[in-house]
Amino acid sequence: MSLIGPDPAESLVWRIDTNSFDLTDHVEWESHSHADRHELLWGTRGALSAETTDGYFAIPGSLGLWIPAGTEHRVAAAPGTTFRCTFIDADLPSIAATTTAVAIPEVVRVVLERLEAAPYLAPSPRRHAEELTVSLLEPVEVSTIDLPLPLDMRTRQVAQALLSDPADDRSIEDWGRHVGASARNLSRLFVAETGLSFSTWRTRARMRRAIEWLAADHTVAYVSRRSGYSTPSAFVQAFRRELGRTPGEFASMRSDAAKKSA
């Protein structure tokens, strides 16, 4: 592909643009959307997660996450995480109507890196490269979990504490004393604001973090302990109840998807 000198006018024809992130600290991007651009999160090392109306997604390095234009999403990255964020103009076809994991073949990674490193490609080669990139992305199935966040200051405080430390096993009575609410009122608020009982919400919060840790290739023993389960077998049973598959099957799905990206 030939290169041409920088010309401000050329930026007007860019339909794909990639930003790279190398984070030393925990970073969160509050809920937002891009009306005129699809978003592709990929190339992850560390723990990157996204929450949209379609569920909660932990993004392993072997896959990417496609967020269609106009979709509200919130992204969080743990310290030491690196990833790329590629914006794709909405005039290029969306590969899915909802947020979905995608296999990213090596050729796509190479093309995206080339477009990032050499943004001033001549318009015709660049258009071909952009269209090729989107056409080669392939949706894959991954495990997700729906976890509505409560809004009341007291229930939100409990929810945030459990997401930070899902192994915290305090009872609803303990939490009520901690946030200044009766156990009955706190239970009622959880149901009213999330549609879930406190115990169900806590289990899903544990599964949400478990998916993130499994995606980062931690062992089942490590994840079960961090998630608040006394034994790996208890964790496996809870994981299967909530997600319909075992942690091992979850890992196999990721492995199969990674092969598609090779």
Q: Could you read off the pLDDT of 76-130 as tens digits, one per residue?
A: 887 888 899 999 999 888 889 999 889 888 899 999 988 888 777 788 888 888 8
pLDDT at residue 183, as a whole number: 95
Report which of 242, 258, 214, 223 is spatially closest to residue 61, judged by C-alpha positions. Answer: 258
Three-state DSSP state, 159: helix
The rounded mean pLDDT for the chain is 84
Residue type, 2: S
d(CA 209, CA 227): 7
With a CB cutoff of 8 Å and minimum separation 6, the contacts of 10 are 4, 119, 120, 123
143 secondary structure, DSSP code: -
| pTM of the full structure | 0.67
- Return the pLDDT at 257: 47
Sheet arrangement for strand 82-89: 16-22, 82-89, 37-45, 63-67, 100-103, 138-140
Q: What is the mean pLDDT of residues 46-50?
A: 81
Q: The tokens 């390095």 sit on which residue?
A: 61
The better pLDDT of the pair 10, 147 is held by: 147
Asked if domains 8-140 and 153-261 share a fold, the reply is no
> Residues 54-76: pLDDT tens digits?
777 877 777 899 999 999 998 98
Is residue 140 very low, low, confident or very high in pLDDT (cuts 50, 70, 90)?
confident
Boundaries of every domain in the chain = 8-140, 153-261
| 158 neighbors 212 (Cβ within 8 angstroms) | no
DSSP H helical ranges for 118-166: 123-135, 153-164
CATH fold group of domain 8-140: Jelly Rolls (2.60.120)
Tell me the pLDDT tens digit for each residue of 161-176.
998 899 999 999 999 9
Which of 85-89, 91-95, 229-233, 257-261 has the least mean pLDDT? 257-261
pLDDT of 1 above 70: no
pLDDT beyond 80 at 6: no
Sequence-distant (6+) residues with CB within 8 A of 165 are: none
Distance between CA 78 and CA 258 in Å, rounded? 22
Report which of 152, 116, 151, 150 is spatially closest to residue 133, judged by C-alpha positions.
116
Options 1.10.10.60, 3.30.390.30, 3.40.50.1980, 3.40.718.10; CATH of 153-261: 1.10.10.60
